[in-house]
Structures are given as structure tokens and as C-alpha cells.
Amino acid sequence: MAQRTPLPTRLHMIELKQQGLPLAQIAQQLRLSLSCIKKLWRRFRHHGPRGLQPLSCCPKTSHPQQTPEAVRKLMVQIKRAHPHWGAQFIQGELCRRHAQRIPHRRTIERFLSHFPDLPKRRYQKRAPLSDPRRATRLHQLWQMDFKVNHRFPCASHRGSFLNIRDMASTLSILTYTLPEGRAALSSQEALGVCRLAFTQWGLVPEAIRTDHGACFCAPAWDSFPTDFTLYLWGLGVEHELIPVRRPAHNGGIERDQRTFSENFLADYPFHGHPQLARDAQAFGHFRNRFVPSRSVRCQGQTPWATAQHLHCQAGTYTPEREAKLFEVQRIYDKLASLRWQRTVDGWGYITLGHYKYYVGRAARRQAVYLHFDRKTLEVVVDTGQHEDLKRWPIRGISYPDIVKEQKLERKLKGHWWSRKQAA
């Protein structure tokens, strides 16, 4: 980098020139370039001694692309109101407020770095998600996951959420706030949240991916599909389960949970669960419409803009037509490929789903195997040596049996016997 010529050297150059020495000899004597000597002599002739002083390199007039003063003040105001927000969310808020000009993300970061009192954000390079089935169509794959027992700043309350995200466009499908005091949902309640998402978007996705939460799938020893899975199968939605203790296979929603925590929950002023539910859903709408995504799928566009260019093969949905869209034959086809192992209890019964089936006291404490006969629509019990012990018509697979209206309420604390005595 070129260094500034000291002021004494400049004055000495003028003295030598006034003594009649040529500029080339002065440059050789002072060990400066000839162009530098010519520039200083020209500035002295035009401006006198004032021309030898260091001059500012700033332009006389503002650049036409310079960020307006009102927008710069607004950026600082937004950053102070949301200290955890990065340049992306500040861009989105400027767009939502219809600012005169929206600066680039790097411009916002560079401008805010001049304020030492503002917290700095450290961005890490993201590795591509190792998704074995990467979604390429809109609503081809939704991911669901819980965020439970988050403690709000300056408040003793906790909040739990169930988030749903579309993998192809990174759209926030639904942010459902669990009732106060709840940190989990039953299978029927999770089914109701799915119905709420289907109703809001007017469609059913091709597949939904979840972890092994108790509301999504049965324990390993049971392995019979839950009402949540049967409901999705009946509507033609594939239910995918990630491997146990492998959250990276659900990386999209895991990253979405982190964004939700850092940019909404970290500085949220809690004023009650009803207001929290409205604000959480509004935050998802804000992200979809205004915040540019850094995902490789979006290429700097908002999720909503990305979704406009994607092909969609999802089926249409309305709550009134749900019973007609529901086909039990789809469930039968899925059950025909499954087998279950049970141990007969001391009374000769086994449990499958929500129902008990009588095998006989002769088979007490024995391990039996069950499968579904697609032709006769019966549950078949055998000893593992292809000897049928019992056959029963399968129960609990019809639409009224699977879909039950439930209200999500706060569960009472304490044991069941204490609640019974209190009643």
C-alpha cells in the first residue's frame, strides 16, 4: 500500500523547486517518484500552501447507491429491538415495513459493525444436508419435530411447540404452540395438529417425516401403527421415521428449530400463552414472506418466492371432504406387509393396537406371531411354525375409529388416584 509523503518532505520539495532545480532531479534527490513530485507541485501552484495538506478522499456528493439515512436509522432501531437478529431478518423487517431501499446482507453487516454496543453475529459455513431422499417438489416432504420446555427471558413460564416445515422450499408450514403446562401430545392430538396444517394449506403432502416420539409411533415392543400413522396412510400420505438417535436425518426441521429459537424465542417478551400462539404463527408467516433464506434450495430468495417456481403434486384437501378422501384399502395394503410378536398374558389375551384378543389359556406365557390377512381382513395368530391358532376380524381401522375429535387442554398434575379423590 502506498504511504503518504510527510509534510516536511513536501515543504522541502517546494524549496528545492523555488531554487530552480528541475522536478526530475528533485525526485531523484528525495527518492520519490516523478509522478508524485509533479502532483504535489501542481497542487501547490493551484491551491498554495493549503494544497500540501492531506486532502480527504471522500466524494464531494453522496453516491447514488448509498443507503438513505432513514433506512440506516431503521436498521439500528431493528437491531436494538431484536439483538439476536442477523442481517437476513433485518432485511425481511425492512421489506415488511416497505423501506425506501433494501441494502444487501453484507452491507447491513458492515454498517452495524461500526456500533460497538450492538452484539455481533458469527456465521458458520453450512455443510449440505445429507438427505437420502431430497425433496425436489413442493410439499413432497414435510418434517415435524417438537421443541419443549423453553424458558422465556425475564419470565418463569415455559413454552413448547410443534413445528412443521416443507423440505423443498423451506416454507414454515405450521408453528403450533402447545397449551400451557403441556410438553407432549398424544397420537390423537398430533393427528389434530396435522389436520390443522392440511386445512390451512388446502392440501395433503406426499410424505411426512418424524422421529420416534410417542405421539408419532408406537414403542419398539409394540410396533403396531399409531392412530397418527393410520390417519396418514388413509389419506395417502407416507409416514417416514428417521433412525433412532439420528437427528441429522431430520436436519431440515432441526435447523428450523434453531432459527426459531435464536430469532423469536431468545428475546420474546412473554405476556401469556394466547398471545404467544398468535405471535409464533405470525413469525412463521414473516419468515415465509420476507426473510431471504440461506438454504441451498432457495439461493437467497424467500421461501415463498422459491415455492412459486416448484412443481407440486400434492393432493387437495378440505375438512368437509376428509371422510371421502380417507380410504381404508390403503391401510390394509400397508398392514399386509407387517408382522408383530406378542406374549400371551396369564389370562390368555394379547393386545394389538387399542384392542385385546383372546388366544386361549393353553397358550399362556407363550410367544406368538400376528399378521394381517389381506383377503379375509382378519388378524391371524400363529406359533411361528405356520400353525394358525386364532383368527379375528381386525378392529379399529375404520375412519370413525381412527379420527376422534379431541380438545387440547392442560393436563392436571399429580397421580390419577389424587385426582379421583379430589373429584
Say if 90 falls within a structural domain: yes
Chain segment 148-180, per-residue pLDDT in tens: 999 888 778 899 999 999 999 999 999 999 999
- Do 97 and 213 sit in the same domain of this protein? no
Predicted local confidence at residue 415, as pLDDT: 37
Q: Which amino acid is at 363?
A: A
pLDDT tier at 375, thresholds 50, 70, 90: very high
Chain segment 413-422, per-residue pLDDT in tens: 443 333 333 3
Predicted local confidence at residue 355, as pLDDT: 92
As given in the structure block, the three cell numbers for residue 259 are 432459527
How many domains are contained in the chain?
A: 4
- Do 16 and 81 sit in the same domain of this protein? no
Say if 24 falls within a structural domain: yes
Please state the pTM of the whole predicted model.
0.80
In angstroms, the Cα distances linking 262 to 89, 258, 384 are 11, 6, 53
Predicted local confidence at residue 58, as pLDDT: 66
CATH classification at residue 228: 3.30.420.10
Q: Once rounded to an integer, what is the mean pLDDT over residues 259-284?
A: 93
Q: Once rounded to an integer, what is the mean pLDDT over residues 97-105?
A: 90
Domain holding 343, by residue range, is 328-397
Element (H, E) at 341: strand 339-343
- Long-range Cβ pairs for the range 228-234 (8 Å, 24+): 228/187, 228/188, 228/190, 228/191, 228/194, 230/331, 230/397, 230/402, 231/191, 231/194, 231/402, 231/403, 232/194, 232/208, 233/330, 233/331, 233/334, 234/326, 234/327, 234/328, 234/330, 234/331, 234/399, 234/402
- Do 151 and 266 sit in the same domain of this protein? yes
Are 263 and 85 in contact by the 8 Å Cβ rule? The answer is yes
Say if 211 falls within a structural domain: yes
Predicted local confidence at residue 64, as pLDDT: 62
- Do 146 and 22 sit in the same domain of this protein? no
Full DSSP string of 172-216: EEEEEEPPTT-----HHHHHHHHHHHHHHHTEE-SEEEE-S-TTT
- Whole-number average pLDDT of the chain: 88
Residue that terminates a domain, selected from 60, 92, 112 = 112
Q: Which of 57-61, 128-132, 272-276 has the lowest mean pLDDT?
A: 128-132
- Do 217 and 166 sit in the same domain of this protein? yes
Are 36 and 25 in contact by the 8 Å Cβ rule? The answer is no
Q: Which of 58-67, 186-195, 224-233, 314-323 has the lowest mean pLDDT?
A: 58-67
Strand partners, 351: 356
Residue 204: phi and psi, rounded to 5, are -120, 135
Smallest Cα–Cα separation from 93: which of 255, 258, 257, 263?
A: 263
- Decide the pairing of beta strands 378-382 and 388-393: antiparallel
